[in-house]
C-alpha cells in the first residue's frame, strides 16, 4: 500500500529547514513533493557540510523522496510554469520572509485565482502579521526568543545559556505547518474550498513551552533551567553512576519505595523529607546530592539489573551512535538505506508514523538539482522536448 497522502501533490518554495522539514513530513506520508529551486545552485543547504561525495548530508536527510525542478522565478516564462503547476497541486508550501512571495507575484490572493482549492501554507520566523513580521529568523533566534533556552541547561544561574541540540526552532514550526495543512485538506473535502495558513517559528516555540507558561501565569514565578531534573516531580532525572549516567524515574510513591529497596536505603521511605511526592519535590536539591552519592556506588549495568528486578524505571543516556545501534529503534525500522547517483548508498532516519494499512516510508534519495525538470515539465505540464530544451538554453530552468 502507498502512504496515506498518496495522490496528493505539493509544490514547495522552501529552502533551509522549516519549510523543507514540513514538506519532508508530507512526503514521508506519501505526497508527491515538487521542490522548486534556483537554477544557480539551488537550496543553499546543498552546500552545508558534512558531505558524501560532495553531496550535503543535511540536504540528503531533509529532502529525501522529493522531486527537484529548477526555475528562475524572475523570468516571466518561469512564472507561467508556476501558475500552471499551481493548477495541478493540492498544496503550496513556502518559507520565504513575508513579502517575498508577493514581490514574486505569488501571494495567496494571486495563487488562489489560479486554483481556489489550493492550501497555501506559509512558514516564517515571526508570522505574516505583527511588528516583527518582516524580520528574518533563524532557529537560534526562535529558540532564544521563544523561551525554551531560558528553561534548558544547568541549574547554576551563572552557567551560560545553551541551545536545544536539534533545530527545534525550525522543526516545531514544521510540525504545526504539516498538521495545519492536513487539517485544511480535510476541511476542503467538506467545503471544496482552499485557504491560507500562517505558521510562525516564534509562535511554535511559545506553544512548546505551554506548561512553563501556564505555571508562570498561575504563580508569577519565572521557570528556570533545572539541569536534567523535571520541574514538577522527583526523582525524575539523570544521575551519575560509577561508569556513566542513568535516567531514573521514581517519582511516585510506589516507584520511590521500589527504588529505596533496590538502593538498600529503606530509611528513605519513612524519611520526612523524601517519604512523599511533595517532600521529594520540596527537598529536590538535597535528594539529588544524596542520590548522586548512592548512584555513584554501582555501574549503570549493575543498577539496571537491580532496577529491573525491583520495578524501578531507568534507561541510558544514549549518544547518537548508541541510538543507531539500539535494538528497539532498529526493530522499529527507524533507519533505511537509499541510493543517490553521486552520494551512493546512504542511511537515513525513517518516520515514526507507523500505519497498519498504508505504509509510510520514503524509499527514494533526495534529488539532484533539477533532476525532475524533464519529467515534471513533460508529464505534468505537457511541454514538448523542444520547449524544455529552449527553457534550458535560455536559463529559465
Dihedral sign (CA 132, 138, 140, 146):
positive
Tell me which of 28, 90, 170, 198 is the catalytic residue.
170
Crossing angle of helices 300-309 and 253-262, rounded to 10°: 120
What is the maximum span of the chain, computed from C-alpha positions, in angstroms? Answer: 85
108-137: contacts with a copy of itself (CB under 8 A): 108, 126-127, 129-133, 135-137
* Nearer to a copy of itself (CB atom), residue 294 or residue 381: 294
* Nearer to a copy of itself (CB atom), residue 77 or residue 163: 163
For residue 29, the minimal CB distance to a copy of itself (Å) is: 5
For residue 76, the minimal CB distance to a copy of itself (Å) is: 28
How far is residue 187's CA from residue 90's CA, in Å, rounded to a whole number?
13
Nearest to 47 by CA among 38, 57, 37, 61: 57
* Nearer to a copy of itself (CB atom), residue 71 or residue 307: 307
* Nearer to a copy of itself (CB atom), residue 93 or residue 184: 184
63-82: contacts with a copy of itself (CB under 8 A): none
How far is residue 116's CA from residue 195's CA, in Å, rounded to a whole number?
8
Give yes or no: 254 in active site: no
Query: How far is C-alpha 351 from the geometric centre of its chain's CA atoms?
Result: 11
285-304: contacts with a copy of itself (CB under 8 A): none
x/- map, 372-391, a copy of itself, by CB under 8 A: --------------------
According to the binding rule CB under 8 A, does residue 232 interact with a copy of itself? yes
* Nearer to a copy of itself (CB atom), residue 196 or residue 294: 196
How far is residue 58's CA from residue 191's CA, in Å, rounded to a whole number?
39
For residue 318, the minimal CB distance to a copy of itself (Å) is: 5
Backbone angles phi, psi at 69, to 5 degrees: -125, 150
Strand pairing report for 32-37 and 9-13: parallel
Per DSSP, the three-state class of 390 is helix
Interface stretch with a copy of itself, choices 56-64, 71-79, 264-272, 381-389 (CB under 8 A) = 56-64
For residue 70, the minimal CB distance to a copy of itself (Å) is: 22
Among 79, 84, 100, 223, binds a copy of itself (CB under 8 A): 223
Q: Angle at CA 142, nearest 5°, toward 136 and 148?
A: 175
Cβ atoms of residues 193 and 120 within 8 Å: no
Nearest to 381 by CA among 66, 9, 7, 63: 9
For residue 381, the minimal CB distance to a copy of itself (Å) is: 25
Report how many residues bind a copy of itself under the rule CB under 8 A: 150
According to the binding rule CB under 8 A, does residue 100 interact with a copy of itself? no
x/- map, 141-180, a copy of itself, by CB under 8 A: x-xxxxxxxxxxxx----xxxxxxxxxx--xxx-xx-xxx
Q: What is the DSSP track for 151-190?
A: GSS-S-TTSPP---SS-HHHHHHHHHHHHHHHHHHHHHHH
For residue 345, the minimal CB distance to a copy of itself (Å) is: 11
* Nearer to a copy of itself (CB atom), residue 37 or residue 203: 203
How far is residue 174's CA from residue 20's CA, in Å, rounded to a whole number?
8
* Nearer to a copy of itself (CB atom), residue 54 or residue 267: 54
For residue 364, the minimal CB distance to a copy of itself (Å) is: 16
x/- map, 179-218, a copy of itself, by CB under 8 A: xx-xxxxxx-xx--x-xxxxxx-xxx-xxxxxxxxxxxxx
307-366: contacts with a copy of itself (CB under 8 A): 313-324, 326-329, 331-332, 334-335, 346-358, 360
What separation, in Å, do the N-terminal and C-terminal C-alpha atoms of the chain show? Answer: 34
How far is residue 352's CA from residue 261's CA, in Å, rounded to a whole number?
37
According to the binding rule CB under 8 A, does residue 62 interact with a copy of itself? yes
Q: How many CA atoms lie within 13 A of 238 on its CB side?
A: 11
Active site residues per annotation: 170
Amino acid at each position: 500500500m502507498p502512504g496515506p497522502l498518496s495522490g496528493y501533490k505539493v509544490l514547495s518554495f522552501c529552502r533551509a529547514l522549516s519549510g523543507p522539514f514540513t514538506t519532508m513530513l508530507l512526503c514521508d506520508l506519501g505526497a508527491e513533493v515538487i521542490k522548486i529551486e534556483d537554477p544557480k545552485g539551488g537550496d543553499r543547504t546543498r552546500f552545508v557540510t558534512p558531505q558524501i561525495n560532495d553531496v550535503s548530508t543535511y540536504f540528503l536527510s531533509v529532502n529525501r523522496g522529493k522531486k527537484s525542478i529548477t526555475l528562475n522565478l524572475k523570468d516571466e516564462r518561469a512564472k507561467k510554469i508556476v501558475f500552471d503547476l499551481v493548477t495541478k497541486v493540492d498544496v503550496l508550501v513556502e518559507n520565504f520572509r513575508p513579502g517575498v512571495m508577493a514581490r514574486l507575484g505569488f501571494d495567496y490572493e494571486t495563487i488562489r485565482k489560479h486554483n481556489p482549492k489550493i492550501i497555501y501554507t506559509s512558514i516564517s520566523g515571526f508570522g505574516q502579521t505583527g511588528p516583527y513580521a518582516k524580520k528574518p529568523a533563524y532557529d537560534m533566534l526562535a529558540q532564544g526568543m521563544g523561551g525554551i533556552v531560558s528553561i534548558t541547561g544547568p541549574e547554576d544561574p551563572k552557567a551560560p545559556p545553551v541551545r536545544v541540540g536539534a533545530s527545534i526552532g525550525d522543526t516545531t514550526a514544521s510540525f504545526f505547518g504539516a498538521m495545519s495543512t492536513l487539517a485544511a485538506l480535510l476541511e476542503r473535502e467538506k467545503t471544496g474550498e482552499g485557504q491560507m495558513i500562517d505558521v510562525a517559528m516564534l509562535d511554535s516555540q511559545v506553544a512548546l513551552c505551554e506548561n512553563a507558561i501556564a505555571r508562570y501565569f498561575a504563580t508569577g514565578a519565572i521557570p528556570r533551567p533545572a539541569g536534567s531534573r523535571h520541574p514538577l516531580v522527583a526523582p525524575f532525572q539523570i544521575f551519575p553512576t560509577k561508569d556513566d549516567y542513568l535516567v531514573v524515574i521514581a517519582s511516585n510513591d510506589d516507584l520511590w519505595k521500589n527504588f529505596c529497596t533496590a538502593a538498600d536505603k529503606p530509611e528513605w521511605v519513612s524519611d520526612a523529607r523524601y517519604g512523599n511526592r511533595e517532600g521529594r519535590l520540596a527537598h529536590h536539591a538535597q535528594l539529588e546530592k544524596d542520590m548522586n552519592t548512592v548512584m555513584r556506588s554501582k555501574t549503570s549495568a549493575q543498577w539496571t539489573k537491580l532496577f529491573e528486578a525491583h520495578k524501578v524505571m531507568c534507561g541510558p543516556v544514549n549518544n547518537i551512535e548508541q541510538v543507531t545501534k539500539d535494538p528497539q529503534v532498529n526493530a522499529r525500522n527507524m533507519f533505511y538505506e537509499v541510493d543517490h547517483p553521486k552520494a551512493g548508498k546512504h542511511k537515513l532516519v525513517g518516520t515514526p508514523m507507523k500505519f497498519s494499512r498504508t505504509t509510510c516510508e520514503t524509499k527514494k534519495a533526495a534529488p539532484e538539482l533539477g533532476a525532475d525538470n524533464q519529467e515534471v515539465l513533460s508529464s505534468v505540464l505537457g511541454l514538448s522536448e523542444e520547449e524544455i530544451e529552449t527553457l534550458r538554453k535560455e536559463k529559465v530552468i
